[in-house]
Amino acid sequence: MSNVLVINSSLRREGANSTALTENFLARWRQHHPDDQIQQRDMASQPIPHLDEAMVGAFFTPEDQRSVEQQTLVARSDALVQELKESDVLVLGVPMYNFGIPSTLKAWIDHIARAGLTFRYTEQGPEGLLKGKKAYVLAARGGQYQGTAADTQTAYLKDVLAFIGITDVQFIYAEGLNMGDDQFARGFSRAEQQLDALAI
């Protein structure tokens, strides 16, 4: 039995295309792994605050010297790190907003990229500590950017996931979703084909 952690990062609580992709993925996953535990986190309904001076200050204050306020700030990040550590499979629902990932997903990343917990610095450079996990990125886009320089999401997510040790990452794209009904249907059907082809 595995633990699957799903992070949905659309700003929409209802009708989000990226969430529809993660639901499609999960329907397939449940068929193959009915006993797996699935934990879902939705950035629209459970927003995580952006990193600020107080939070970073709390992260870098030694545990036994943290104020009560700093303990609270660190506790939120620690809980997110723990949730990720306990997962075997990470599923990210990722809309493209203004050529990047949603700022809410960036906030989550900023809370789970913690020196000493999810990566560490060595004399050979940084080392990711979350080894042996598999990640799926389900990307929803209004336009068509896969394989172009404008698709900064793919390179960024590969880099930051590798930084914390997650190197086995598979991307599924639904593109052209804001380019008319035909393109919308085609974008989703291409994503379905990619999902069907996954060895899950």
Ligand X SMILES: Cc1cc2nc3c(=O)[nH]c(=O)nc-3n(C[C@H](O)[C@H](O)[C@H](O)COP(=O)(O)O)c2cc1C
Q: Which residues bind ligand X (CB under 6 A)?
A: 10-12, 16-19, 95-99, 140-143, 145, 177-178
Looking at the Cβ atoms of 19 and 87, the one nearer to ligand X is 19
Looking at the Cβ atoms of 96 and 130, the one nearer to ligand X is 96
CB of 76 to ligand X, least distance (A): 24
User: Taking the alpha carbons of 172, 39, 14, 75 in that order, is the dihedral positive or negative?
Assistant: negative
On whether the CB atoms of residues 117 and 31 are closer than 8 A, the answer is no
CA dist 151 and 91 (Å) reads 19
With tokens 């929803």, the residue in question is 140
Looking at the Cβ atoms of 46 and 178, the one nearer to ligand X is 178
CB of 15 to ligand X, least distance (A): 7
CB of 104 to ligand X, least distance (A): 11
Looking at the Cβ atoms of 156 and 163, the one nearer to ligand X is 156
Which residue type does 184 have? F
β-strands 119-122, 125-128 pairing? antiparallel
Q: Which one, of 167, 164, 183, lies nearest residue 175 by Cα?
A: 183
CB of 115 to ligand X, least distance (A): 31
